[in-house]
């Protein structure tokens, strides 16, 4: 039996993952509201409200009585870590999170569940064993400091009538946007081999499972706190790239050594950490609660991705 919800709110939901969630939730809720910086056209029961992410305004009324609030705010970390970009990365996460907490604190009828989309990169570089919610070890470095400050801001909010979950998301795989189309382009250009030594682990999740896991958490009020959102099958980079080549009928892919990645990262304005860090994350909470991953193995995800319209291959 599919449950029907009244209202679901997506703060900062105008990006790739927000569009995935809005479409998925639209068939499950009477109304899906996106809090966005710019006006957007209403599509079916998906409506956008303008907010600046910094100040209390009329948008707060949208939170009243909501079944679910998902916070997706945050500048893309796929950039060079200049001081300017570092500040924007911090501010774009901490300011809206603090604002949402302040708004909820003052409500008599706040959202039932507040999910903050954070990142599985908070764990250390791991090649020895998986990092789960209970025993996982927090890493060091700029991106980890961002995640720590982000989650601290989230959990510090006084929301006794709103359950809170920090959803540590892996790399979301989808054909339309995100990291996958960029990796697919490398494969198409013949550069889809291993990156670095190819031994680093990659924690990923197919977009439909990412959305379904949030609905699962909404339906399980006993779950709160930290939850990892990654597929149960973690694979090494060289296996991941080979899986893309096989799914999209490319027999050859040039490898990219670490030194060349460093040069390329500077040219395209990103950081090699996003590619070379080994992320071995286990979704223990989801697995232990009985969540069924529809695309739990990389071959299943690649089959779904390669089954998209032929012009995307």
- Domains of the chain from N-terminus onward: 5-174+206-232+280-293 (3.40.50.720)
Residue 128 has pLDDT above 90, yes or no: yes
Tokens of 260: 């060349």
| Average confidence (pLDDT) over 56-74 | 96
pLDDT at 192: 83
Q: Strand pairing partners for 202? A: 235
Residue 272 has pLDDT above 90, yes or no: no
Q: How far apart are the first and last CA of the chain?
A: 36
| Least confident interval from 50-59, 249-258, 278-287 | 249-258
How does strand 5-11 pair with strand 68-71?
parallel
The 3-state DSSP composition of the chain as helix, strand, coil percent (nearest 5) reads: 40, 20, 40
pLDDT at 118: 95
Overall size of the chain counted in residues: 313
Q: Longest C-alpha distance within the chain, in Å?
A: 59
| Average confidence (pLDDT) over 240-250 | 92
pLDDT band at 1; cut points 50, 70, 90: very low
pTM equals 0.92
pLDDT at 311: 41
| Average confidence (pLDDT) over 110-138 | 95
């Amino acid at each position: 039996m599919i449950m029907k919800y009244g209202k679901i709110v997506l703060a900062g939901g105008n990006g790739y993952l927000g569009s995935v969630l809005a479409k998925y939730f639209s068939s499950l809720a009477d109304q899906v509201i996106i809090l966005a910086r710019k006006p957007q056209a209403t599509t079916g029961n998906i409506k956008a409200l303008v907010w600046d992410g910094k100040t209390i305004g009329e948008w707060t009324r949208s939170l009243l009585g909501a079944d679910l609030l998902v916070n997706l705010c945050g500048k893309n970390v796929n950039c060079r870590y200049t001081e300017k970009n570092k500040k924007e990365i911090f501010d774009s996460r901490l300011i809206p999170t603090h604002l949402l907490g302040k708004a909820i604190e003052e409500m008599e009828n706040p959202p039932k569940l507040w999910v903050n989309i954070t990142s599985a990169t908070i764990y250390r570089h791991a090649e020895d064993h998986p990092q789960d919610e209970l025993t996982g070890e927090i890493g060091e470095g700029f991106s980890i400091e961002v995640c720590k400050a982000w989650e601290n801001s989230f959990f510090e909010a006084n929301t006794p009538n709103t359950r809170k979950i920090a959803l540590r998301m892996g790399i979301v795989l989808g054909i339309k946007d995100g990291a996958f189309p960029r990796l697919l382009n490398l494969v198409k250009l013949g550069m889809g081999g291993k990156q670095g030594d190819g031994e680093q682990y990659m924690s990923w999740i197919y977009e439909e499972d990412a959305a379904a896991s949030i609905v699962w958490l909404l339906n399980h009020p006993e779950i709160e706190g930290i939850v990892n959102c990654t597929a149960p099958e973690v694979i090494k980079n060289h296996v991941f790239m080979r899986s893309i080549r096989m799914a999209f009928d490319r027999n050859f892919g040039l490898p990219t050594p670490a030194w060349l990645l460093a040069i390329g990262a500077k040219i395209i304005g990103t950081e090699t950490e996003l590619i070379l860090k080994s992320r071995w994350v286990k979704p223990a909470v989801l697995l232990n609660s009985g969540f069924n991953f529809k695309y739990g193995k990389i071959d299943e995800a690649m089959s779904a991705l390669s089954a998209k319209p032929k012009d995307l291959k």
